[in-house]
Amino acid sequence: MKTKIDQVTLREVQIPLKESFEISSGSEQQRRILLLEIRDAAGTSAWSECVAGSRPNFSPETIDTSWGALTQWICPRLLGKEIRSHTEVHDILETDFRGHRMAKAAIEMGAWALAAAAKGISLSAMLGGSHKSVAVGISLGIQKSPESLIDKVQRALADGYRKVKMKIKPGKDVEVVRRVRHAVGGAAPLMVDANNAYTLEDMDRLKALDEFELMMIEQPLAWDDLLRHAMLQKELRTPLCLDESITSVDRAEDMISLGSGRIINIKPGRVGGFTSSLRIHDFCAKYDIPVWCGGMLETGIGRAYNVALASLPNFVLPGDISPSSRYWERDIVSPAWTMTSEGYISVPVDRPGLGVDIDVDFIKSLTVRSETLRS
């Protein structure tokens, strides 16, 4: 759909998390979030969220590098330009412009939402989604004690979550997972995510996880590695799932050719947006690689994009798209995202665009800096 972006407003909001979230590379208590409000020449607007964190511990990008990339290069490349279709934004931003995928994704996905709003259809319909509701998993940070993790896992299963992911790191892995598995029984849908905390020297420890019937082990090795993951996968019965290493459809192809994993966690921000996510989704469908949608502690705005993406047919495993109340006292959208007792979030297919209202006054009250760019 033809479009012309006239104005982009960047806002940094700061929101405390309900509980701090610890992964192998550090913990997070307060989220600094970059929101975009994008307006086209016809006056339609769409909000989007950049998922870069405050520190470069997940990817090299941060909220500050994203702010710079958006204001200096990304927005100037798009503002005032006749764009034949929102599907072209990805390639426009990739031409002679390396990296900064999370920053690019924020506006690329916003362009999809803008097109959906202008057309009067849901973002899910715009993407070609087919699921009317999406299965939800929870991601649990590293806990102080095994008892507290067991308690949280049991509570999550009782709440209806369809997948429970436990963050692990060396020393907080095999014995902890053993105790959880023992406490919740063999059938509970458990998985672990190491966020790059291991090397091949830890082979025995990683192999020891095989006995716990985990759905998958997510990204145990380096954030940009594929080869060593292939060596590891050969030794493991449990499927490896790649997250950080998959930044484009080319890397997904590499994963499949090398045998570096059997599942992909697609985070649209990590891969540069929706066009790239769709390419990975379609490629994986062709090779029977299941995918699921990861999370980056998004507000209700980022969550709307994840829910729409997870409505695509090959998203066959529960995504890390917990309801708003898991993270926030009060979300910046209404209605807040809620989960049924069976662990599903409905896809708002009957509302155009994101399918939620943006609480602009609340966002303004949380804003610590803003900048508006015009064509």
Indicate which residues carry an active-site annotation: 167, 267
> Do the beta carbons of residue 332 and residue 363 sit within 8 Å?
yes
Shortest gap between Cβ of 167 and Mg ion (angstroms)? 8
Candidates 108, 193, 225, 298: give the one binding Mg ion (CB under 5 A): 193
List the one residue from 40, 225, 243, 320 that touches Mg ion (CB under 5 A): 243
The region of 65-73, 189-197, 301-309, 338-346 touching Mg ion under the rule CB under 5 A is 189-197
Q: How far is the CB of 225 from Mg ion (least distance, A)?
A: 14
- Give the binding-site size for Mg ion (rule: CB under 5 A): 3
Nearer residue to Mg ion within complex by CB, 13 or 266: 266
Please tell me whether residue 320 binds Mg ion under the rule CB under 5 A: no
Tokens of 316: 């066959």
**Which range touches Mg ion (CB under 5 A), out of 128-136, 187-195, 253-261, 272-280?**
187-195
In the complex, least distance from residue 120 CB atom to Mg ion, rounded to whole angstroms: 35
- Which residue lies nearer to Mg ion by CB, 12 or 173? 173
Of the pair 48, 245, the CB lying nearest Mg ion is at 245
Instruction: Give strand pairing partners of 23.
Output: 26
10, 70, 299, 314, 332 from 364: Cα distances, Å = 12, 20, 15, 37, 10
Which region, judged by CB under 5 A, interacts with Mg ion, from 116-124, 162-170, 239-247, 334-342?
A: 239-247
Which residue, 123 or 293, has its beta carbon nearer to Mg ion? 293
Q: Are 305 and 337 in contact (CB under 8 A)?
A: no
CB of 294 to Mg ion, least distance (A): 6
Q: Which residue pairs, CB below 8 angstroms and at least 24 apart, start in 66-73?
A: 66/34, 66/100, 66/102, 66/103, 66/106, 67/10, 67/12, 67/34, 67/371, 69/100, 69/103, 69/104, 70/8, 70/10, 70/34, 70/36, 70/103, 70/106, 70/107, 71/10, 71/371, 71/373, 73/97, 73/100
Segment interacting with Mg ion (CB under 5 A) among 68-76, 145-153, 179-187, 240-248: 240-248
Q: How far is the CB of 193 from Mg ion (least distance, A)?
A: 4
Q: Which residue is nearest to Mg ion (CB)?
A: 243
**If DSSP states are collapsed to H, E and C, what string results for 328-365?**
CCCCCEECCCCCCCCCEEECCCCCCECCCEECHHHHHH
Residue among 108 and 320 whose Cβ is closer to Mg ion: 320
How many angstroms separate the CA atoms of 221 and 200, rounded?
8
Using CB under 5 A as the criterion, which residues of the chain lie in contact with Mg ion when the complex forms?
193, 218, 243
